Amino acid sequence: MSRGNILIVEDEEIIRASLRRLLTRSEYTVSEAGSVHEAELSYNLKDYDMIISDLRLPGSPGTELISLAEGIPVLIMTSYASMNSAVDTMKLGAVDYIAKPFDHAEMLDRISAIMSRRPAAPDKSNTIEECPESGFSGILGQCDAMRLLFKRIKKVAPTTATVLIQGESGTGKELVAKAIHENSRRANGPMISVNCAAIPETLIESELFGHEKGSFTGASAARTGLIEAANGGTLFLDEIGELPLEAQARLLRVLQEGEIRRVGSVHSLKVDVRLIAATHRNLRKLSSTGDFREDLYYRLKVVELRIPALRERGNDVLMLAEKLLERICEKMERETYSYSPEAMAAICQHQWPGNVRELEHAIERAVILSDDDIIMPEGMDLDVQIKSTMFRVSSATTAADNAGSSNPVVENQDGLSLEDYFQRFVLEHQDQMTETELAQKLGISRKTLWERRQRLGIPRKKASA
């Protein structure tokens, strides 16, 4: 049962993902948006028990939500450089504010206190059609391209249509094939998966169609082919672009006539098989050059589904990274690790040519090699130049904040890099905080704090006499 329904409005992907993960683990139901406009357009704000919003957002400031939400409590987040503005939000009706980077325990305490002041509301979990992170049939995705894919899977699954799945290696083509099978009327029948690129050309016809005893050297007994074994169910042919032309001709007969003939046999057998094919190659181009049968190509693409590459899926990469990290830690029987801000920024900026498979392997390597429970970019072997900023501070905002302060902490610039932010935060707060408190506020371990001090040349405060 959900402890409450919370909307996060934050334009920084790293912070939004970290907060979503914290709240989800604490059994809150979480929705998210990147701006006030997106929140107003995508959700009914009155459906939420509270809203957590950044103060500085593209377009309208987070304080606009106070009037739009009409009585729903709004907790405002602000960077430490904008505390003067944060105090002003209380005058506008914000229920509370919290400085970034916030301590996780402090954030949960603030939320709990706000929730306790609200009247009890009925559980809304059953009215939500689909959890934003649940995806479809085990396939995770929130971006528009993945939502369109889920919609098409739902439409094509109950039919008998042949399906062609297009996508780069590592995008999850077999998962899509399984989703189609599991949501079809053949779900109780077998699903046979075949990687056409993994079977030698000399054996492919025997593997697919079967053979009779003595039909070739080494055929000491009759053998049922994989197509026949899939009778009453689904046959998934991965990398069908690697299928030899002779086998293509025989597969075409299966699609047209619904029958097969074993190698070495003169008799045909009727089969009831639904075919799902997948490839990362351009079959249209292959058919134009004669490397793939054009008539088979058009028989395959009755319904064509395209899986987007991971680099095209926007915020999905962080959500997938979090889910995969939880799964890998559970498999290795370890406490769930977390990502450092640098790791999350690197995950967002890496192009992932190997797609979800590459992401999973990188996370598994990091868990194995990590010295503590914080994942760093080096552990994932990600060599990217981190250009992301955790907290963007506009020139106008900086000038306004500094005008009321005798000790401005931010120069007139477009933003703070991760290392700039770390350095300034430590220098500003180390006189009031212990090393443990600094590490907790920054979301890193004490060991990582010490290592970054060494790398950036930030001396520790001297002990008082």
Instruction: Compute the Cα dihedral for 346, 351, 354, 356 and give only its sign.
Output: positive
Question: What would the mean pLDDT of 162-178 be, rounded to a whole number?
Answer: 95
Percent of the chain with pLDDT over 90: 33
pLDDT greater at residue 55 or residue 460: 55
DSSP assignment string, 301-360: TTEEEEPPPGGGSTTHHHHHHHHHHHHHHHHTT-PPPEE-HHHHHHHHH---TTHHHHHH
Q: What is the pLDDT of residue 409?
A: 34
**What are residue 303's phi and psi, to 5 degrees?**
-130, 125
CATH architecture of 5-127: 3-Layer(aba) Sandwich (3.40)
For the chain, give every domain's residue range. 5-127, 144-307, 393-456
How many CB atoms lie under 10 A from the CB of residue 309? 18
Q: What is the mean pLDDT of residues 293-309?
A: 94
In percent, how much of the chain has pLDDT > 70? 81
DSSP string, 232-285: TSEEEEETGGGS-HHHHHHHHHHHHHSEE--BT-S--EE---EEEEEESS-HHH
Whole-angstrom distance, CA of residue 24 vs CA of residue 454: 35
For residues 281 and 336, which has the higher predicted lDDT (pLDDT)?
A: 281
Which distant-in-sequence residues (6+ apart) come within 8 Å of 98 by Cβ? 75, 76, 77, 78, 106, 107, 110
Q: Write out the E strands in 71-201.
A: 74-79, 96-100, 163-166, 191-195
Residue 114 gets the label, from left (phi > 0), alpha (psi -120 to 50) or beta, of alpha
Q: What is the residue whose two structure tokens read 């406009």?
A: 37
pLDDT for position 366? 92
H or E element in which residue 36 lies: helix 36-42
Higher pLDDT, 273 or 459: 273
Average pLDDT across the chain, whole number? 80
The tokens describing 371, both together, are: 């010295």
- pLDDT value of position 443: 61
Q: Are 344 and 14 in contact (CB under 8 A)?
A: yes
Residue 154, token pair as written in the block: 């739902």
Token couple for 407? 């000790």
Residue pair 296/251 in contact by the 8 Å Cβ criterion: yes
Alpha-carbon span 316 to 165, nearest angstrom: 20
Backbone angles phi, psi at 84, to 5 degrees: -60, -45
Give the number of C-alpha atoms closer than 13 A to the C-alpha of residue 417, restricted to the C-beta side.
6
336: amino acid identity, one letter: T
Task: Please report which residue ranges of 373-445 form alpha helices under DSSP H.
Answer: 395-403, 418-429, 435-442
Establish whether the linkage from the previous residue to 459 is cis, with ω within 30° of 0: no
Phi-psi region of 216 (alpha: psi -120 to 50; beta: other; left: phi over 0): beta
Of 3.40.50.2000, 1.10.600.10, 3.30.2270.10, 3.40.50.300, the CATH number of 144-307 is 3.40.50.300
What is the mean predicted confidence (pLDDT) over 32-54?
89
Could you count the other beta carbons within 10 Å of the beta carbon of residue 26?
16
The whole-number average pLDDT for the span 1-17 is 85
Q: Confirm whether 5-127 and 144-307 share one CATH topology.
A: yes
272: Cβ contacts below 8 Å, ≥ 6 apart: 231, 232, 258
How many Å apart are CA 42 and CA 65, to the nearest integer? Answer: 14
Ranges 187-196, 252-261, 418-427: which has the least confidence: 418-427
Q: How confident is the model at residue 99 (pLDDT cuts 50, 70, 90)?
A: confident
CA distance 300 to 319: 33
CA distance 353 to 351: 6
Mean local confidence (pLDDT), 337-361: 88
Look up residue 31 and give its DSSP letter. E
Residue among 294, 164, 268, 184 nearest 233 (CA): 184
Contact predicate 367/375, CB 8 Å: yes
AA letter at 447: K
Q: What is the pLDDT of residues 404-422, one digit of tens each?
A: 433 333 333 334 455 666 7
Say which DSSP state 124 is in. Answer: -
**CB crowding 167-187: b at 16 or more within 10 Å, else e:** bbebbbbbbbbbbbbebbebe
CB 6 within 8 A of CB 48: yes
- Give ∠ CA 178-184-187 in degrees, rounded to 5: 70
Query: What's the token pair of residue 377?
Result: 């970019």
